[in-house]
């Protein structure tokens, strides 16, 4: 079930208060239109009626799409520094509902699901795009690492992140975002073959892959943000 309630947002440009419909749970199996809205950026977004500034509520929800083996807990981007504590809280919540503590019928239904935790809209959108393109999200993070090693002066900082934003069978579109404002800083077109190279070079990537397997936050930022060094 998709759950909504009204929330008030204040425009940072003119101070106008606007009511926006906010969701705490999205079931894309029942509402595929909501998945589409997340992908096109219109979900929980509107224009300020006074000045026209684009407004978007930060995410705080669970996204379910079992037809695509997807369960994602989504938190605001500015909470990334507490990812380790949040991940610890998410694990028992998932286990009670769909994991080891759930009825067998439910466990059977979700056996192929790999639960995830993300921070911010671009991170959620990335997971959905990766699923649509048939990309493994762990391998995608390894590809990002390879890209960062080979790009001249990448805009790496505590406030930036590299996200998948599109692609096809020939190339993948990666965008550097400012994490909180979601401002686009740079665009990279990476050959799809670079992803395949990571898959084929399994032994070289095995140590890092091992750290990203079996965790909720499959994101390179787990290595640089927060208090853990998983």
Q: Which positions ≥6 away from 79 have C-beta within 8 Å?
A: 86, 119
Q: Find the mean pLDDT for residues 71-77.
A: 97
CA atoms within 13 A on the CB side of 118: 25
Name the nearest CA neighbour of 129 among 172, 162, 160. 172
Distances (CA, A) of 110 to 61, 88, 117, 173, 214: 19, 20, 16, 30, 15
In tens, the pLDDT along 137-194 reads 999 999 999 999 888 877 877 789 999 999 999 999 999 999 888 899 999 999 999 9
Distances (CA, A) of 86 to 92, 222, 226: 11, 12, 10
Token couple for 146: 């390879």
Q: Which residues of 147-183 are buried (b: 16+ CB within 10 A; e: fewer)?
A: beeebeebeeeeebbbbbbbbeeebbebbbbbbeebe
Return the domain boundaries, the chain.
58-221
Predicted confidence at residue 95, as pLDDT, reads 94
Predicted confidence at residue 226, as pLDDT, reads 67
At residue 117, φ and ψ (nearest 5 deg) are: -125, 130
The radius of gyration of the chain from alpha carbons, rounded to an integer in Å, stands at 18
Q: Which of the pair, 229 or 181, is modelled with greater confidence?
A: 181
- Distance linking the first and last C-alpha atoms of the chain: 34
> Are the C-beta atoms of 18 and 49 separated by less than 8 Å?
yes
- Answer whether residue 52 shows pLDDT above 60: yes
Q: What pairing do the DSSP bridges indicate for beta strands 45-47 and 61-65?
A: unpaired
Q: Which of the pair, 156 or 64, is modelled with greater confidence?
A: 64
Name the nearest CA neighbour of 70 among 22, 17, 128. 128
- Mean of per-residue pLDDT scores for the chain: 93
Predicted confidence at residue 156, as pLDDT, reads 78
Predicted confidence at residue 191, as pLDDT, reads 97
- pLDDT tier, 230 (very low <50, low <70, confident <90, very high otherwise): very low
Predicted confidence at residue 122, as pLDDT, reads 96
Predicted confidence at residue 229, as pLDDT, reads 46
Q: What whole-number distance in Å separates Cα of residue 215 and Cα of residue 87?
A: 8
Predicted confidence at residue 84, as pLDDT, reads 95
Most confident of the ranges 26-35, 180-189, 220-229:
26-35
The Cα angle at residue 229 between residues 115 and 165, in degrees rounded to 5: 50
Predicted confidence at residue 94, as pLDDT, reads 95
Decide: helix, strand or coil at residue 197. Answer: helix
Q: What whole-number distance in Å separates Cα of residue 216 and Cα of residue 73?
A: 9
Q: Find the mean pLDDT for residues 120-145.
A: 97
């Amino acid at each position: 079930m998709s759950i909504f309630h009204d929330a008030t947002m204040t425009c940072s440009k003119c101070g106008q208060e606007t009511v926006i419909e906010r969701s705490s749970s999205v079931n894309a199996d029942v509402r595929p239109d909501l998945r589409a809205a997340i992908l096109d950026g219109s979900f929980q977004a509107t224009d300020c009626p006074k000045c026209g500034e684009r407004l978007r509520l930060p995410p705080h929800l669970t996204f379910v799409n079992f037809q695509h083996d997807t369960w994602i807990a989504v938190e605001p981007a500015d909470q990334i520094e507490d990812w380790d504590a949040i991940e610890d809280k998410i694990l028992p919540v998932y286990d009670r509902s769909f994991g080891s503590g759930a009825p067998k019928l439910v466990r059977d239904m979700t056996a192929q699901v790999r639960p995830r935790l993300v921070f911010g809209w671009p991170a959620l959108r990335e997971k959905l795009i990766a699923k649509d393109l048939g990309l493994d999200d762990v391998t995608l993070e390894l590809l990002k690492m390879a890209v960062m090693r080979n790009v001249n002066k990448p805009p790496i900082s505590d406030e930036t992140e590299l996200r998948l934003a599109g692609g096809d069978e020939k190339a993948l579109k990666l965008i550097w975002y400012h994490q909180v404002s979601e401002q686009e800083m740079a665009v990279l077109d990476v050959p799809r073959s670079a992803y395949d190279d990571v898959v084929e070079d399994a032994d070289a990537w095995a140590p890092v892959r091992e750290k990203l397997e079996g965790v909720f936050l499959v994101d390179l930022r787990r290595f640089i943000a927060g208090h853990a060094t998983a």
